[in-house]
Structures are given as C-alpha cells and as structure tokens.
Amino acid sequence: MPTPSTEPVAQPWQGGWHTGAHALASPHFGPRPGGALVDLIVVHSISLPPGEYGGHAVQDLFLGSLDWDAHPYFQRIRGLQVSAHFFITREGTLWQFVDCDQRAWHAGRSSYRGRAECNDDSVGIELEGLEGLHFEYAQYAALARLCKDLALRYPIAHVAGHEHIAPGRKADPGAGFDWPRLQELLGWAPQRFPAV
C-alpha cells in the first residue's frame, strides 16, 4: 500500500489570484458591488490584430500600454479601456490581469439569468481566437481546469459566452466554440450552459 504523501497540496488561489497563472495587474478594474454573488463565467474571444496570434498586443491592451500606432487596426480601438480576469493563449498558457474578487471590465452592457450588468458578478475569460473560428484543444483543457478552480472559490452556477449576455451587440466566442466539449470536460449539468 502506498504511503500517503506528506507534500503540501498546491492551492489554486492566493486571494483572488490564481497561482497557476502569469500575473499582470491591469489598471482597468473596480470594486464589485456589495453582496455581489460571483456565479457566472463569461467566455470571450480576442486577437489583436484580429486573426493574428502569438503576440503581446492583447496583454498590452489590458494593461493600458498598447501602442496605438503599431497597427492600422489599433486606431479603431484607440483609447479603449478594457480588461478580463483571464486570457488563455492558443497554446493554453494562462494569464491573469484582475483579482477575481474585483470587477473586471469585460462584459459591457449585458444581462443574463435575470440580472443586468454582468461585470458585477462574473469572471471574464478571454480565449485567443477569432469569433466564429475554432479553438485549440489546449485552450479547452486550460479553460476547464480554470472553471473547476473558480468553482472551488466561488458559487459558479452558469457558464455563458459574450454573445449570450449581450446578444445582438457581441458575437464571441461564436459558432466555432465547442460548448459540448467544454461541458464534457467539466462534467457539469447541461443547465449550467447556454442552450446550443
């Protein structure tokens, strides 16, 4: 019979910061309202410039340090102040920009499960990708691990896309995102996901 390990089990959280993520603190956040119940995960997709992967422009955008003159597309978003709690690259690398106990600026005008202003009580996760196109298995694996870890700290009851909380205004992550795959990886009940 194997001897139980005496090694301490690594905890996934240090306050609202995930210990497995590369931390870069964004200035774009604020306090959650008093009594906010963080029970929603919002999945987004982003790439800067659109369809180009592997650079650091997304990180720069969330940090407020994007060089607006580095690409013509950036003129269209000049001055934008946004953030997400997390960003998952095509290779599955996890970055964190905002303490999950704080309110990141990812959802905008939104409503889901009978509540408006989803920034107040959600965690925003950006996947490196282009809305409507496919995502990599490494991203699904990293996303599922993160969702499970979030459920250890918060009463997560729902997972939705930006398109579901802001229909008609946003379309990400789009038709290329495999919701059944995420549900299977998580093993969570279908009621916790959007009807697809």
Residue 23 domain-assigned (yes or no): no
Has residue 56 got a pLDDT over 50? yes
Has residue 21 got a pLDDT over 60? yes
Report, as residue numbers or ranges, the catalytic residues.
126
Residue 195: predicted pLDDT:
84
Sign of the torsion angle spanned by Cα atoms 111, 21, 10, 99: negative
Residue 40: predicted pLDDT:
98
Residue 49 domain-assigned (yes or no): yes
Confidence of residue 44 (pLDDT cuts 50, 70, 90): very high
Please name which of 58, 115, 52 lies closest in space to residue 84, comparing C-alpha atoms.
58
Residue 10: predicted pLDDT:
67
Residue 195 domain-assigned (yes or no): no
Q: What percent of the chain has pLDDT over 90?
A: 93
pLDDT, mean of residues 68-82: 97
Residue 101 domain-assigned (yes or no): yes
Residue 4 domain-assigned (yes or no): no
Has residue 5 got a pLDDT over 60? no
Residue 127 domain-assigned (yes or no): yes
Residue range 163-185, pLDDT digits in tens: 999 999 999 999 999 999 999 99
Residues 175 and 88: their CA atoms lie apart, in Å, by 18
Please name which of 12, 113, 97 lies closest in space to residue 46, comparing C-alpha atoms.
97
Residue range 99-158, pLDDT digits in tens: 999 999 999 999 999 999 999 999 999 999 999 999 999 999 999 999 999 999 999 999
- The range of the structural domain enclosing residue 152 comes to 35-186
More confident call, 51 vs 8: 51
| Residue with tokens 């609202």, as numbered in its chain | 16
Residue 2 domain-assigned (yes or no): no
Has residue 3 got a pLDDT over 70? no
Q: What total number of domains does the chain contain?
A: 1
Do residues 106 and 172 lie in contact, with contact meaning Cβ atoms separated by under 8 Å?
no
When the pLDDT of each residue in the chain is averaged and rounded to a whole number, the result is 95
What CATH number is given to the structural domain containing 56? 3.40.80.10
Residue 9 domain-assigned (yes or no): no
Residue 126: predicted pLDDT:
98
Q: What percent of the chain has pLDDT over 70?
A: 95
